[in-house]
Amino acid sequence: MNIMLVCSAGMSTSMLVTKMQESAQAKGIEATIWAIPEASLQAEVDKSDVILLGPQVRFLKSKIEAVAAPKGIPVEVIDMMNYGAMNGEAVLQQALNMKK
């Protein structure tokens, strides 16, 4: 599964990526998880199965859906509490639920 996180610059979200990767590994889930700044969306969108947005860029959801929806890629905003707590397990589960 390919999980792309979109944020403003990619810095804080990269810490969450690490936590999600650790959780996936512990559960035996094969996943590629990476973070990009919004400006890189066009170049990266085709590589993803699901797209998660950092709470700080939730205002971009409709713009990103316009690019992702025609490709069948679901887009959701990461829960602010899980993002703030860097809860990689919960955010990984959110991504897995999106793919079902």
Helix/strand/coil (H/E/C) assignment for every residue in 2-57 = EEEEEECCCHHHHHHHHHHHHHHHHHCCCCEEEEEEHHHHHHHHHHCCEEEECHHH
pLDDT digits (tens, 9 = 90+) for 24-34: 999 999 999 99
Question: Partners of 2 in the beta sheet?
Answer: 32
The span from the CA of 49 to the CA of 92, in Å, is 13
Architecture per CATH, domain 2-99, reads as 3-Layer(aba) Sandwich (3.40)
Domain range summary for the chain, segments of one domain joined by +: 2-99
The answer to whether residue 66 is catalytic is: no
The pLDDT value given to residue 46: 97
The pLDDT value given to residue 10: 61
pTM given for the model: 0.95
- Provide the CA 21 distance to its chain's centre, in angstroms: 12
What integer is the mean pLDDT of 64-84? 97
The span from the CA of 83 to the CA of 88, in Å, is 8
Catalytic residue from among 3, 6, 7, 73: 7
